[in-house]
A and B are shown apart, each in its own frame.
Chain A
Amino acid sequence: MPVILQGIVTILIGVGGCVAYFYLSNLVLDRFIFPAKGEQAGRNINRANAVRPWLFLFPAVFVLGLYLVYPVIGSFIRSLYGREAGDFVGFGNYISLFGSPDFQTAFWNNVLWAVFVPAASTFFGLLAAQLTDKLSWGNIAKSLIFMPMAISFVGASLIWKFLYANDADIGLINAVRDMLGFSDPIDPLQIPFWNNFFLMIILVWIQTGFAMVILSAALRGIPEETIEAAILDGANPFQLFFKIKVPQIMPTIVVVWTTITVLVLKVFDIVYTMTGGNFGTEILPSYMMDFMFRDDGRATAIAFVIMIVVLPVMVWNIVQARKEVR
C-alpha cells in the first residue's frame, strides 16, 4: 500500500523534522549567533533568551497564520469577486445572497439551530449530571450518555435516519406511532419546519455528553458548606438545585453554552447526510457547500457571514481569556 508508506514517511519526516528544527535552531542560536562566551557573554545570553521564545513558537505561529488568519482576510477579499477570480463585484455577492430566499431559509434555520441545540444540550447535560451525581452506577450511565461524542456526524446521521425511516417495520418512530394507533407512516424529515428539529435532535444527542461531563465536574466543585447550610435552612432538593447549585456553576454553563453554539455554526455533515438541504432544512454551512467548487465568490461570502455570526462569541472568549491570564 503506497499510501500507507507515504503516511509513515510523513510521520517520520514530520516528527523528525520538528525535533531537528527545535534542536538545531537552539544549537545555532546558542553556539553561533549569540555564543555565551567571549567578552559579550552576558549580553549574548540575554539576547539569546529574547529570541528563543520565537524559535519555539515559530512553527505553530506560521501554521496558524497561514491556515487560520490569512483565510479570514483571503476569504473576505475573494468574496468581493464573482465566480471568476478577476471579476470584481464589490458587495454584489452579499447583496444577491441576502436577496435570495434560499439564503434566508438557511440563515433563519441556522438561528433556530444556534438557539435550540445549545439550550437543549445544556439542559439535558445538566439534568444527566445532577441525576447521576450520587448514583452508584453513575459513572457507567455517564459514559453511555457520553458515547455519542465518539461517533462521527455521518455515523450519527445514519443511526437516526434508520430511526426516522418512513416504515413502521424499520423506523422506531413510526413503529411507536403504529402502536399508538396511527396507521399511516410519516417521514419526519419531510414535515415542513419541524423537520429542522428532527435534525437538531441528532446534534443534541451528540453534544449532551459533552455538556454533562463538564457540568458534572462543576457540580462536584461546589463547596460542601454552601449545600450543607442550605439543607440546614430547610431547602428542599429542588430549591437546593436551582437556588444554590445552578447559580454557582453559572460561569461553566455559559462556557458550555457558547462552545456548543460555535460548534453548531460549523456542522454541515448532519444536514448534508440527512436531507441534502432539501425540504427547507438548509443551514449556512451546508448552503456554502452547495457553492464550493462551483462559485468561490458565493462560497466565501457565506463563510464570511458565518464568521460575522461567530464574532461576538469570539470577542467574549478573548475577553474572558485575558481576564484569566492577568
Chain B
Amino acid sequence: MDGMAGHKSSLSWATNISVVVLVLLWLIPTIGLFVSSFRERDQISASGWWEAPFAVEITARGRTATEATPEGDLFVVTGNIYDDPEAGSFFPNGGGEIVAFGTRGVDPSEFEAGTVADLGDGETLVINPDGSYEYRTPEEPGSRGQRVYFAAASPPAFTLDNYRNVLTADNMDRAFINTLTVTIPATIIPILIAAFAAYALAWMDFPGRGLLIAIVVGLLVVPLQLALVPMLNLHNAIGVGQSFLGIWFAHTAFGMPLAVYLLRNYMVGLPRDIIESAKVDGATDFELFLRIILPLSFPALAAFSIFQFLWTWNDLLVAKVFLPSDDASKVMTVKIADDLLGSRGGDWGILATAAFVSIAVPLVVFFAMQRFLVRGLLAGSVK
C-alpha cells in the first residue's frame, strides 16, 4: 500500500496490527506445547499453559492431627495443615496461600480461609491462609483426625523432569538415533545421483531430453502411496525386507524427482559462456561437471538437502511401511504417533516433550538455513 500519501499512516497502522495478529495466530499453538513441556503433570491439568507464570489453585485434602489438648469442656487440636503428609504431597514445591477450606469433598472450598467454620455438634474449625489451623470439638478425637479439604495456590513450577523422562525412560533416545540414521544417508546419497542427471538434462544434447524432463515433472506428483505395496513386495523378494537399507533406497528414490527437477532448473540458468569456454579449453564433461557446475550449483544443492532432510526427518508413512515395527527400529514420528499417543494419551507433559524433542532439530536447520530453503522453493516454482 505504498505511495498513498494521505492514507499512509492509518493504513500502515492497520497493516502492522494485522500482521501482529497473524503472527500470533501462527505462533500460539507451538508456544503452548513448548511451555507445557516444561510444566509438571498436575499443573498442566490444573491450569492452561497461558497461566503458567501464575500460581495455580489446587484443591487438596488432608487430616488434622490427633493429639488434642483439653480446654474447658472442649478439646483443641492445633497445627499446620502442610505438616500432614497427605496434604503436603499435593505441593511438591511447597504450599502457597490457602484461599478456602471445607470438610466435605463435594464442597472443598465452603469457607473462606481465616473464618471460623461451624461444623455442627459444637465443632468449629478455622484454617488460616498460612496453613495453621485450630479445631475445637466437644468429644476427644479418635485415632484419625478430622478430614479437611482446602484450595491453595501452588507456585508456578517449571521443570526438566519431562525431558529427563522422555529421553531416558521412553526409548525416545533410541528413536532419535534411528531417525538420524534414516535421515543422513537418505539426504546425502540422492544429491550426487541427481546432480549428474540434472547436468545431463541441462547441458548435454541428446535425443529424448525433452521427454525425460517431462517425465521427471510428471513423476513429481506421483502419489507415494502407489509405490508402497509393489516396492515392499520387491524388497521382501530380494531379501532387503523391512530394514534401514530398504528405507534408504526408498527415500533416495522418492526424493529423486524433486532433486533432478530443482537442480536442472538451477543449472540451466548458469552462464553459458563459462561452460562453453571450459569446453573450448578441452575440459571433458566429467571435469566440467566436477570443477565448474558442482561448485556453482551450491545454493541449489543446499536447498535440496534441506528439503530432503526435513522431509525424511518428518516422514511417517515411509517409515511405517519400510522399517520393521519392532521397538528397536522405530523412528521418532512412529514412536509418537503409535506408542505415545496411544498409551500416554492423557500425559500431556510427556507428549509435549516428545514432540519438542522431535521438532527441535528441523527447527534449528530451518532457521539456520532459511535463505537456501527459500531460494530452493523459488527455483522450483517461480519463473
Residues of chain A whose beta carbon lies under 8 Å from any beta carbon of chain B: 1, 3-4, 6-7, 10-11, 14-15, 18-19, 22-23, 26, 30, 50, 52-54, 56-57, 59-61, 63-64, 66-72, 74-75, 78, 124, 127-128, 131-132, 134-135, 138, 141, 143-155, 157-163, 165, 167-170, 172, 175, 205, 208, 210, 213-214, 217-218, 221, 227-228, 231, 236-237, 240-241, 251-252, 255-256, 259, 262, 265-266, 268-269, 272-273, 285, 288-289, 292, 296, 299-300, 302-304, 306-307, 310, 313-314, 317-318, 321-322, 324-326
Asked if residues A162 and B316 are in contact (CB atoms below 8 Å), the reply is no
**C-alpha gap A285/B321 in the complex (Å):** 13
The listed residue (A11, A169, A307) touching B189 by CB distance below 8 A is A11
Interchain CB contact (< 8 A) of B337 among A78, A269, A288: A269
User: Is there an interface contact between A4 and B181, defined as CB atoms closer than 8 Å?
Assistant: yes
CA distance A158 to B313 in the complex (A): 16
Since A213-B377, A304-B226 are in contact, a sample of 6 more A-B pairs with Cβ atoms closer than 8 Å, ordered by chain A residue number, is A3-B177, A10-B245, A22-B286, A56-B204, A60-B194, A172-B32
Closest beta carbon of chain A to B265's beta carbon, Å:
9
Cα distance A61–B201 in the bound complex, in angstroms: 11
Is A152 a contact partner of B219 (Cβ separation < 8 A)?
Answer: no
Q: Which of B338-369 contact A (CB under 8 A)?
A: 341, 348, 351-352, 355, 358-359, 362-363, 365-367
The distance from the CB of A209 to the nearest CB of chain B, in whole angstroms, is: 8
Q: Are A170 and B45 in contact (CB under 8 A)?
A: yes
Contact B188 A64 (CB under 8 A): no
Residue contacts A-B, CB under 8 angstroms, 17 given: A52-B204, A52-B285, A59-B197, A68-B222, A131-B15, A132-B19, A145-B23, A148-B30, A170-B44, A214-B378, A228-B3, A237-B4, A252-B382, A268-B317, A299-B228, A310-B222, A313-B221
Measured between C-beta atoms, what is the minimum distance from B352 to chain A in Å? 7
Interface residue SS majority, chain B: helix
Q: CA A132 – CA B366 in complex, angstroms?
A: 20
Given A63-B256, A154-B336, the answer on whether A7 and B184 have CB atoms closer than 8 Å is yes
Q: Are A314 and B244 in contact (CB under 8 A)?
A: no
Say yes or no for B196: interface residue by CB 8 A criterion: yes
Confirm or deny: B18 has a beta carbon within 8 angstroms of a beta carbon on chain A: yes
B11 touches A237 (CB 8 A): yes
Residue of A at shortest CB range from B329? A3
Q: Is the CB of A57 within 8 A of B201?
A: yes
Question: A205 touching B29 by the CB < 8 A rule?
Answer: yes
Tell me whether B370 is interfacial, beta carbon within 8 Å: yes
Residue A322 contacts which of B194, B210, B321, B329 (CB distance < 8 angstroms)? B210
Contacting pair B29 A134 (CB below 8 A): no
Does A307 lie within 8 Å of B7, measured CB to CB? no
Given A151-B314, A314-B222, A50-B366 contact (CB < 8 Å): no
Which residues of chain A come closer than 8 Å to B333, judged between CB atoms? 152, 154-155, 269
State the CA gap A205–B25 with chains docked (Å). 9
> Contact between B226 and A303 (Cβ–Cβ < 8 Å)?
yes
- Set of chain A residues within 8 Å of B204, measured between Cβ atoms: 52-53, 56
Contact A150 B19 (CB under 8 A): no
Give residues in B with beta carbon < 8 Å to A. Answer: 1-4, 7, 11, 15-16, 18-19, 22-23, 26-30, 32-33, 36, 44-48, 50, 177-178, 180-181, 184-185, 188-189, 192-194, 196-197, 199-201, 204-206, 209-210, 212-231, 233, 244-245, 248-250, 252-254, 256-257, 260, 284-286, 289, 310, 313-317, 320-321, 329, 333, 336-337, 341, 348, 351-352, 355, 358-359, 362-363, 365-367, 370, 374, 377-378, 381-383
Q: Tell whether, in the assembled complex, residue A72 and residue B222 are in contact, meaning their CB atoms are under 8 Å apart.
A: yes
Measured CB to CB, the closest approach of chain B to A260, in angstroms, equals 11
| Cβ of B216 to closest chain A Cβ, rounded Å | 7
Verify A318–B219 contact, CB threshold 8 A.
Answer: no
Query: With the chains together, A228 CA to B214 CA distance in Å?
Result: 39
Residues of B within 8 A of A285 (CB): 223, 225, 317
| A residues near B377, Cβ cutoff 8 Å | 210, 213-214
B193 partner, pick from A23, A63, A228, A304, beta carbons under 8 A = A63
